[in-house]
């Protein structure tokens, strides 16, 4: 089944009726969205299978166009940047690494699903955080966001010190 996904990702036009149907419909929906989109409620998410979960980015692209998708990317970028900012300001090493890991989780999951929807990456079956339909994924995303908020709430404490790099040995030549 992995081989079928890779083949339909590399060349979806070989079998447009079976294994590549989702990818082709997704590409057509994004193309129909254009720059401005077709308008809220005017898209055809019924033509793209799994438009409420795996291909939600395609449905958003069709209805809101390039402007809406760039806005969604900006929101994800804001969440990820604020998560890394909380990681840098965390009061201890554990919270620093935990916040950085949660921020990376949001970033990687978003890249995987958006790249799969736009045929830049093979489809993985992960959901778009905070957007896709799926109870467990939505719950985990909100719990991860809660942890990021709790970590960023400790601003009055001194951040954990970063390790200083080894000073370079300076050798002076005696002339």
- CA 54/CA 23 separation, integer angstroms: 11
- For the stretch 1-49, pLDDT in tens is 677 777 777 777 777 677 677 777 788 788 878 787 777 777 666 667 6
Query: How does DSSP classify residue 38?
Result: S
Q: How far is CA 109 from CA 79, 153, 164, in A?
A: 13, 25, 33
Residues 6+ apart with CB under 8 A from 48: 22, 25, 26, 29, 55, 58, 59
Judged by average pLDDT, the poorest of 96-105, 107-116, 120-129 is 120-129
């Amino acid at each position: 089944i992995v081989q079928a996904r890779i083949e339909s990702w590399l060349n979806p036009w070989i079998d447009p009726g079976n294994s590549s149907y989702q990818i082709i419909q997704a590409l057509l929906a994004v193309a129909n969205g254009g720059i401005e989109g077709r308008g809220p409620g005017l898209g055809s998410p019924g033509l793209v299978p799994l438009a409420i979960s795996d291909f939600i980015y395609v449905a958003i692209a069709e209805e809101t166009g390039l402007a809406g998708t760039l806005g969604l990317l900006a929101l994800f970028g804001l969440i990820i940047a604020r998560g890394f900012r909380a990681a840098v300001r965390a009061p201890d090493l554990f919270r620093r690494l935990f916040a950085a890991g949660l921020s990376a989780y949001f970033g990687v999951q978003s890249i995987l699903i958006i790249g799969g929807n736009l045929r830049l990456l093979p489809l993985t079956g992960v959901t778009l955080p905070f957007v896709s339909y799926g109870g467990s994924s939505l719950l985990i995303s909100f719990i991860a966001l809660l942890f990021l908020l709790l970590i960023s709430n400790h601003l009055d404490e001194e951040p954990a010190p970063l390790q200083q790099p080894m000073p370079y040995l300076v050798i002076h030549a005696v002339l």
